[in-house]
Structure 1
Amino acid sequence: MTVPQSITELDLKNLTNRTFHPSPVAWEDQVLYFLLLDRFSDGKETGYRDNRGRRVAKGETPLYQPGDAGNAIRTEPEAAVWRESGSRWCGGTLKGLASKMGYLKRMGVTAVWVSPLFKQCSFVPTYHGYGIQNFLEVDPHFGTADDLRELVHVAHANGIYVILDIILNHAGNIFAYDRGYTPYDGSTVYPVTGFRSADGTPNLPFGPIDTKANPDAWPDGAVWPRELQAANAYTRMGHIRDWDSYHEYLDGDFFDLKDIHLGEGEVDAFRPSPALLALCEVYKYWIALSDVDGYRIDTVKHMGAGATRFFASVIHEFAQAIGKENFYLIGEITGGRDNAFNTLATTGLNAALGVDDIPLRLEDLVKGRANPADYFNLFRNSLLVRKESHVWFRDKVVTVIDDHDQVCRGAKKERFCAGDPKWRRLVLNALALNTTTLGIPCVYYGTEQAFDGEGGDDRYLRECMFGGPFGAFRTRGVQFFDEENPVYREFAKILALRREKLPLRRGRQYLREISGDGVTFGLPYVIGGEIRSVVPWSRIFDTEEMVLAINTDADSPRTAWVLVDGSLHREGDRFAYRYSTDPGQVRGTTAVQRINDAVQAIQVTVPAAGFVMLEQR
């Protein structure tokens, strides 16, 4: 299809003259899966199961075997090539992703969140997608707009929603200032040499482009659509130095990415800029064209509340007008929990991406390094957010373990499984905790294959699932779509129960007290710098209670008495193990014991590094 150059060419009326895929009733019922498109699949793998479950015999890239680990770093020159490959395009495509919908469906994923796929500046390898040069075109590295439409169609046919990662705050490195050092100082608007051409040279006029006079501007030069070529579409105030300074983080450039001027005024008096109005049309177009189900909005903090609210209102109204009643807008909002939820209340975004406190507290709990209450208290009622019940959090936060930035870790960036080999035995517990506690759970690609992401830099968090030149575990030429991997296999069982049991998706949540003797109870806590214990919690919906527990001891099984809701059970009632990492426990039962007039408990055994789910028979 012809790529439009201006928003005036977007025929939204004809594009919306059809029936669209409906939104989910409740997003907390979904399990998200986030992937970097360049690093997921190139469609050339062999030995995996296709969307119908059939083994694929053709292809070039075989399944990873343990002996393949380190095959790309046997010599220092090879290691240097492998490391450098992680900073460049590796070859994942939309067609490759479409071919793996069966892999995701069989795991239990119900919504896929795809990294930005719009056209990048051609002179820099921004494989991650966050440096857009043309907001109206799919980057050719990934495929075409028709490939995107087919991807969404295949996903929907497999019961999977699609969320696109989008950017409004900035464009790519599309123009050059007339000097090399451009720090934000609060007042200087720096002169611009010109828009960049395909090779990065700033030799194009900084303003609306006449393509007859400047034929090199299309398609790889300047910025598109045309409406973003106006000089006043950009703040031009230089790069951010203080990331927490108000106005600086709103008006400064995100490193060399150029800040877009979105409007003026505080929230209630906000006036959108022509650039923001154009971007609203751009993102309405992608909904109409592709039938996607939601957007994850990048760098919301840097957009400002007024621009965010305006955009959210426009997109929600447009989506509802075409039958997508619950089109979801997820904001990347940094600055802590209270800032995130205040931003939601102010702007009308549906959910915040929990990239601050949640990942580290979840990881420290599973690894036995922190009190469980530190994680569970993130979901407690708070006067600061002025909500009457912690249930409010169930569809307002997207919870993650690993992700592509690891902003919560500072300079020490790595996946959950990095370092001690025992973490690979505990990663299923991390996935289980994430998907059976409050929030909309999101799995980062490769975690289900225990990727370790070691190296301390962003690139090492972004290994290729399909092998290529930069495969996981320091490999090349082997793929990781292994449905027999124990983590993948057991996680699929857990997600199947999550789909079946309403309390696991929508229930209230309580960290439970434990006892060794059945008499004295208390919350599990760290002793001597670690906790090796059963950590149980309950999910209760209406009159149904499910008890879940992990064991932070990676070496030995643990048994504890666990409190249950005394108003829902009677002495002698039995709980059955619906799931256990020890298959021999499944269908076994444990009886409710009355401790005193107000307290009842069940005895729960959890395998070493294990996870169990129990429900009342």
Structure 2
Amino acid sequence: MMRFLNTLLLVSACTLPTISYALDVEPANWWVGMNKSTITIMVHEKNISNEQIKLAKYNGVKLNKITRTDNPNYVFLNITISDAAKAGTLEFNSSETNQRFEFPLLARYKNSAKRQGFTSADTLYLINPDRFANGDEQNDTVPSMLEAADPTTKGGRHGGDIQGVINALPYLKDLGVTQLWLTPVLENNMPDYSYHGYAITDFYNVDPRMGSNSLYKSLSVKAKEQGIGLVMDMVLNHFGAEHTWMKDKPSKDWINFNGEFENGKNATSHARQTIQDPHASDYDKRQFNDGWFVASMPDLNQRQPLLSEYLTQNAIWWIEYADLSGIRVDTYSYSDKAFLSDWTKAIMQEYPDFNIVGEEWTSNPAIASYWQRGKHNQDGYTSSLPSVMDFSLQEAVIQALNEDESWNTGWVKVYESLANDFLYPDTNNIMVFADNHDMSRVYTELGQDEAKTKMAMTLFLTTRGIAQMYYGTEVLLDNTPSKDHGDIRIDFPGGFKGQTRNAFTGEGLTKQQKEMHKTISTLLNFRKGSNALDKGKLVHFTPQQGVYSYARISDEQTVLVFMNKNTKELTKNIEYMQEVIPKNTKALNLFTHKTQVLGNTVALPAMSATVLIINTSQ
């Protein structure tokens, strides 16, 4: 999510939601054979706490306790599902009113617990679904939703949906994508600016303008058929002000600052460094963690144990229901850090090979590395978060390509950023990216320079870590000169009626767009089968003559990468690289498909990236 929301969202007037007191049970089901076998069911109905709820006898299932809060409209049922329990349906009832509801226990997918999360072998393709492709025009406007379709407005809903993503799966497979990260598709029933998805008003249901839960599950199934996993964007820190919780809080302490924004007085400071700062005041820590982003996004109090349990169960429920291969966590460090430790631990205990990446928007790797699993922190904090996002490298690459070369400018910024990898316990599990949905596109940041953009993308797709690419980068989508998020999240060519260009078919694309598409597709498809780019060691060299060079080395393969910023072709002496290049070795040029024998020099075209592949196993 964005560090600072658009002005449109800041000024949006949020009315309190209309409350329905029809019986609501969350989660709607659970599974037998789960590591998390003790769960808490939240039941919402008017004056439900006055009911004496009982569980009908069911072999292997026990109702441990019923928790009531200061709000009589909620009860929390804590149950244990033992290994003896079989799939079936639990029945809860009240002896006073004969009220009853059913709670299904389902069988798990085969080998569900052993699912493989996304890894450094993958490329995640980030999509804003509303701006990608409109696969079902019938759901563009839904009467029950507060905001209707408005495709001509930057901050409006443009009609893209889950069906549009499903329709694009063959294109994404051919491009070389192996994982999909969609910005949140859960219900965002807000009066305006709801398309971005981060103001969730129902944590268990897909927004009907995006599709349905079953269609989201279908996306997961169909994507896997194409060799593509599905990563869910989750929000733990805040929710949408139109959620039922704003008018009918489950407990008084459910929302930080007593559920009040107070005209910005209780806004977050965004001072993320207070979490690690050994000298930070409790006041500053609280202002960062408990403060709200904006009035329309109330801040959740994860220190509330029932809420903590709710959020943990919700994550596991979606993993199991939709067969996810990963989670991206929005605004990671803004949540309570003790809760984050428990939340990540519970998920990783359930799915040991799963992956979760947290958004910690900082260019300081000392702060980002604090959150990665395995880090020995000075304050004793223990995290189970496998992956973090590398904002440091993103910033360094943009600076390097826009600056002249000197002893402290240009490529040295990239070298210094990667030299800080000693701070991370697992450098292969860091997510690298050129841009995302909250920042100007890489092509824009690099002055609409195709050559620089190709260099940037080659670097991000060949360096260490997990690669993430923003939709449309392959066809040079651009938000020049605007910084508005509505322009950054531009409609994908070919995804909507009336467009003259179609990236899915290539129709109407410029020569430059087609060349960029070819470059990206070449890199992504090479990544799929490259052991060196997956697990290979990174050895890089200090920049020389405007060239940054490095090698990715595995037992089977060595990949050499040269980034030449010079405006003329350079015959580069590479004797300094002999520790990674055996003499007279044959190498294949990834982009020209020509084989050459590597001697003491290599010819590097002007303003370009050169990728040479040495298959050492032959």
Give the TM-score normalised by the residue count of structure 1. Answer: 0.70
Please point out which of 221, 242, 248 is paired with 1:206.
Answer: 248
1:363 equivalent to 2:398? Answer: yes
- What are the equivalent positions in structure 2 for 1:576-591 lying under 5 Å apart? 576-580=587-591, 583=592, 586-591=593-598
**Change in 2 beyond 3 A, CA 1:567/1:496:** same
Q: Report the equivalent of 1:348.
A: 384
- What are the equivalent positions in structure 2 for 1:89-108 lying under 5 Å apart? 89-108=157-176
Alpha-carbon distance in 1 for matches of 2:492, 2:329 = 25
1:253 equivalent to 2:264? Answer: no
Q: Report the equivalent of 2:540.
A: 511
Alpha-carbon distance in 2 for matches of 1:374, 1:591 = 28
- Secondary structure of the 2:611 match is strand
Q: Report the equivalent of 1:537.
A: 550
8 Å CA contact 1:508–1:539 kept in 2: the answer is yes
Q: Report the equivalent of 1:189.
A: none
Q: Report the equivalent of 2:108.
A: 17
Please point out which of 435, 440, 443 is paired with 2:469.
Answer: 443
Q: Report the equivalent of 2:358.
A: 331
Q: Report the equivalent of 2:56.
A: none
* Structure 1 position 430, deviation (Å): 1.3
Please point out which of 443, 446, 450 is paired with 1:424.
Answer: 450
Q: Report the equivalent of 1:487.
A: 516
- What are the equivalent positions in structure 2 for 1:333-412 lying under 5 Å apart? 333-335=360-362, 336-344=364-372, 345=375, 346-354=382-390, 356-369=391-404, 370-380=409-419, 384-385=423-424, 387=425, 392-395=426-429, 397-406=430-439
8 Å CA contact 1:368–1:552 kept in 2: the answer is no
Alpha-carbon distance in 2 for matches of 1:359, 1:570 = 32
- Secondary structure of the 1:172 match is coil
Please point out which of 597, 601, 604 is paired with 2:602.
Answer: 604
Q: Report the equivalent of 2:585.
A: 574
Task: Output the amino acid matched with 1:603.
Answer: T
* Structure 1 position 129, deviation (Å): 0.4
Alpha-carbon distance in 2 for matches of 1:117, 1:82 = 18
**Change in 2 beyond 3 A, CA 1:606/1:368:** farther
8 Å CA contact 1:558–1:607 kept in 2: the answer is yes
The runs of 4+ residues in structure 1 deviating greater than 6 Å are none
Q: Report the equivalent of 1:243.
A: 270
1:460 equivalent to 2:495? Answer: no
Alpha-carbon distance in 1 for matches of 2:401, 2:240 = 39
| Deviates most, 544-553 or 416-425 | 416-425
Question: Residues 164-194 of structure 1: CA distance to partner in whole angstroms, max 9, x if unpaired?
Answer: 000111111237xxxxxxxxxxxxxxxxxx9
Between the two proteins, the alignment pairs up a number of residues equal to 471
Please point out which of 20, 23, 26 is paired with 1:7.
Answer: 26
Q: Report the equivalent of 1:497.
A: 526
Q: Report the equivalent of 1:132.
A: 200
Task: Output the amino acid matched with 2:385.
Answer: L
Q: Which runs of 5+ in 1 are unaligned?
A: 46-80, 176-193, 197-204, 208-228, 264-271, 407-413, 514-522, 526-532, 593-601
Alpha-carbon distance in 2 for matches of 1:314, 1:333 = 20
Task: Output the amino acid matched with 1:206.
Answer: D
Alpha-carbon distance in 1 for matches of 2:27, 2:517 = 47
- Secondary structure of the 1:418 match is helix
8 Å CA contact 2:188–2:197 kept in 1: the answer is yes
Task: Output the amino acid matched with 2:434.
Answer: I
**Change in 2 beyond 3 A, CA 1:38/1:4:** farther
**Change in 2 beyond 3 A, CA 1:437/1:568:** closer
Q: Report the equivalent of 2:6.
A: none
**Change in 2 beyond 3 A, CA 1:563/1:437:** farther
Question: Residues 311-340 of structure 1: CA distance to partner in whole angstroms, max 9, x if unpaired?
Answer: 11122223x2xxxx4111110113421111
Q: Which runs of 5+ in 2 are unaligned?
A: 1-21, 33-104, 138-148, 272-283, 376-381
* Structure 1 position 420, deviation (Å): 7.1
- Secondary structure of the 2:552 match is strand
8 Å CA contact 1:577–1:612 kept in 2: the answer is no
Task: Output the amino acid matched with 2:607.
Answer: A
8 Å CA contact 2:27–2:317 kept in 1: the answer is no
The percent identity for this pair of structures is 20
* Structure 1 position 195, deviation (Å): 6.3
Alpha-carbon distance in 2 for matches of 1:434, 1:507 = 15
- Secondary structure of the 2:458 match is helix
- Secondary structure of the 1:258 match is coil
User: Over aligned residue pairs, what C-alpha RMSD do you find?
Assistant: 2.9
8 Å CA contact 1:250–1:302 kept in 2: the answer is yes
Alpha-carbon distance in 2 for matches of 1:44, 1:8 = 28
- Secondary structure of the 1:233 match is coil
Alpha-carbon distance in 2 for matches of 1:349, 1:428 = 32
- Secondary structure of the 2:560 match is strand
8 Å CA contact 2:122–2:467 kept in 1: the answer is yes
Q: Report the equivalent of 2:133.
A: 41
8 Å CA contact 2:455–2:608 kept in 1: the answer is yes
8 Å CA contact 2:118–2:179 kept in 1: the answer is no
Alpha-carbon distance in 2 for matches of 1:371, 1:544 = 29
1:117 equivalent to 2:157? Answer: no
**Change in 2 beyond 3 A, CA 1:563/1:508:** farther
Question: Residues 565-604 of structure 1: CA distance to partner in whole angstroms, max 9, x if unpaired?
Answer: 5456554x23323313xx3xx3231333xxxxxxxxx312
Alpha-carbon distance in 2 for matches of 1:439, 1:307 = 26
Alpha-carbon distance in 1 for matches of 2:330, 2:483 = 23
- What are the equivalent positions in structure 2 for 1:151-166 lying under 5 Å apart? 151-166=219-234
Please point out which of 302, 316, 332 is paired with 1:262.
Answer: 302
Alpha-carbon distance in 2 for matches of 1:306, 1:557 = 54
Please point out which of 308, 314, 319 is paired with 1:287.
Answer: 319
* Structure 1 position 374, deviation (Å): 1.5
Task: Output the amino acid matched with 1:546.
Answer: V
- Secondary structure of the 1:511 match is strand
Alpha-carbon distance in 2 for matches of 1:255, 1:170 = 10
Alpha-carbon distance in 2 for matches of 1:4, 1:141 = 24
* Structure 1 position 100, deviation (Å): 0.9
**Change in 2 beyond 3 A, CA 1:512/1:240:** same
- Secondary structure of the 1:575 match is strand
8 Å CA contact 1:261–1:273 kept in 2: the answer is no
**Change in 2 beyond 3 A, CA 1:482/1:459:** same
Question: Residues 209-233 of structure 1: CA distance to partner in whole angstroms, max 9, x if unpaired?
Answer: xxxxxxxxxxxxxxxxxxxx33321
Q: Report the equivalent of 2:124.
A: 32
Alpha-carbon distance in 2 for matches of 1:427, 1:161 = 27
